[in-house]
Amino acid sequence: MFGIKSDWSLEVKDRYFTLDDYCGVEPRWCTGCGDLGILTAMHKVCREAQLLPEKIVSVSGIGCSSRLPHYMGTYGFHGLHGRALPVACGIKSRRPDLDVWVATGDGDCFSIGAAHWVHALRYNMDITIIVFDNGIYGLTKKQTSPTTPEEYLTNTHPGGSLLPPLNPLTVTLGVTNVSFVAQMVDWNPPLLYETLKAAHDHKGTSFVRIIQRCPVYMEQRSLDLQNDPADLLLLKHDDGIPVPDTVQKMFKNQLEHNPYDLGAAFTVAANTEKIPLGLLYRNPNARRYDEMTRRGLNMTDEERLKGLNEALDKFAV
């Protein structure tokens, strides 16, 4: 098949992939679930970039969001609750050729897997982390999550959630060596696509928090935001998430925000009155651990044998 590139040259490819090539089994998320839109955007990013399906690994933990690998036609790893990130980093450590995506949720990433969240950000390996944040535990049926709004009624806090929700953005921005932090809502497909594309293009760990609809256990939070986008703040910058003209006018509140300015990113992230959408922070120069872990990857057996003998000879008597 073929594709026409922007300079009008014709690129003939042996293989051309359609959206179908990135689809796995039919999703079993609830009707109206925001996860479906995220999955569609991911498929589109893969198709637009013509990524080789056999080189993609989508890794997840446990929860509604973590079913995502099954809905991708690529390699996938549906592991343990909270533990997607160590597995994803391990995959990348000695296989730099693989394109690693992580699908995780607010419980998976910010609660049971919180240690790995912090450290994966610091490792800054070239992986794309998408957090499906619906503010509630879905798969286990409506327990309080770290991002559940205060006083919201859940099955574990029937009198209302006791504490103010965790702010994942300020925590993320506080991690040394963090290199890409964005936030988006699931119900704006053009912006969601641009966000995931920018995240995937970034060299290093891209962290994207997606505020996601749960029509079953947390309907009101997203309905309010959908009906009145006054609480949303669109971040704009030449090096930010490109904003298609068609969606510009949907946002009353817009802010020119320099994504290289960590201090400004904190200010935007800490403002819980206005939910920022777009790229908060980007640091293309952060150290990348995957460039260190791949050390010695291309050694030949002869070189290895020589090295082994050298190591052993240090113990010779």
Interface ranges with another protein (CB under 8 A): 24-25, 52-55, 57, 59, 69-70, 72-80, 83, 85-95, 97-98, 115-116, 118-119, 292-299, 301-305, 307-312, 314-317
Nearer to another protein by Cβ, of 64 and 182: the residue is 64
| Closest distance to another protein from the beta carbon of 303 (Å) | 7
Whole-number Å distance between alpha carbons of 293 and 206? 18
Q: CB 296 → another protein: shortest distance, Å?
A: 3
Which of 27, 30, 69, 49 lies closest to 193, judged by CA?
Answer: 49
Identify which of residues 33 and 89 has a Cβ nearer to another protein in the complex: 89
Question: Measuring CA to CA, which residue among 64, 100, 104, 69 is closest to residue 84?
Answer: 104
Amino acid at 181: V
CB of 315 to another protein, least distance (A): 4
How many of the other CB atoms lie within 10 Å of CB of 49? Answer: 13
Nearer to another protein, 7 or 313 (CB): 313
Compare residues 78 and 236 and give the one whose CB is closer to another protein. Answer: 78
CB of 249 vs another protein, minimal distance in Å: 40
**72 vs 233, beta carbon nearer another protein:** 72
- Least distance (Å) from another protein to the CB of residue 187? 27
Query: Distance (Å, rounded) from C-alpha 104 to C-alpha 65?
Result: 6
Sign of CA dihedral 45, 48, 54, 55: negative
CB 19 within 8 A of CB 47: yes
Separation between Cα atoms, residue 264 and residue 72, nearest integer Å: 36
